[in-house]
Structure 1
Amino acid sequence: MDTNALSDREATEVADGVYLAQLAVGQRMSIQHFHIEPGATVPEHSHEHEQTGFIYGGALTFIVDGEEFTTEQGDSYAIPSDEPHAAENRTDKPVRGIDIFSPPRLDVPWE
């Protein structure tokens, strides 16, 4: 068994105000923590990984195929593999959450 504490992981700023920290990685999935500052944007991107996530602080607006979906504290979401998507923190509070990727996502193309 492998355990990881968020406090032991250094977050990487992958876009202005967007921070990611890789947590546990298994053979078939990985988990990542994110912190997105007010006004920050995750640029549109896609990846082979199926992505599910959970917002535990703040609110995040996803843009998928021109449609907007706002997720708030306590909400979860699922993004199919290869679906282009972006996200924006349109609030005055940071957004915090976790993403789970399958297969494991070990790199972020916009780094």
Structure 2
Amino acid sequence: MPFVNFNAGKIVKIWDGISGTLAHSESSTFGHFTIESGTDLPEHSHVHEQWCHVLEGELLFTINGETELLTSGMTAFIPSWLPHSAKALTECKVIDCFTPVREDFKTLEENQL
């Protein structure tokens, strides 16, 4: 899998208001996601390190109580288990990278038509 075409991938609903295409390696999950305007991602944490890079839009991101407005070209890094949340102020296009692999996302892919 040296090359991935995210334009041709299966669109997976991750949560209400968040969907996109995924690719997985042995150690990471990489996703191209659209977050609908007004979508709230409630505070949560997970074992995965996460990088969230904004391609388009305005995403209000909170990590461990610190909030930043992310716009095109900005990235948030979330260490393992650190609580984080976000709100899409506009429609957003983001790239997320998770380490280790998001097995829950792989299950979503398998279970969605």
**Structure 2-normalised TM-score?**
0.81
Using a 3 Å threshold, how does the CA distance of structure 1 residues 75 and 7 change in structure 2: closer, same or farther?
Answer: same
**Structure 1: gaps spanning 5 or more residues:** none
Give the length in aligned residue pairs: 106
User: Letter of the aligned partner of 1:73 in structure 2?
Assistant: S
Structure 2 contact 63–78 (Cα < 8 Å) conserved:
no
| CA deviation map 1:65-102 (0-9, x unaligned) | 333121110112211001111110123xx100111111
Using a 3 Å threshold, how does the CA distance of structure 1 residues 19 and 53 change in structure 2: closer, same or farther?
Answer: same
CA RMSD of aligned residues (A): 1.8
Alignment of 1:26-105 (within 5 A): 26-91=25-90, 94-105=91-102
Q: Which residue of 1 aligns with 2:13?
A: 13
Using a 3 Å threshold, how does the CA distance of structure 1 residues 38 and 56 change in structure 2: closer, same or farther?
Answer: same
Identity over aligned pairs, percent: 33
Provide the rounded CA distance (Å) in 1 between the counterparts of 2:15 and 2:28. 23
The alignment partner of 1:7 has SS state of coil
Runs ≥4 in structure 1, deviation > 4 angstroms?
A: none
Deviation at 1:10, TM superposition (A): 2.2
**Structure 1-normalised TM-score?**
0.82
| Deviates most, 63-72 or 81-90 | 63-72
Higher fraction of helix: 2
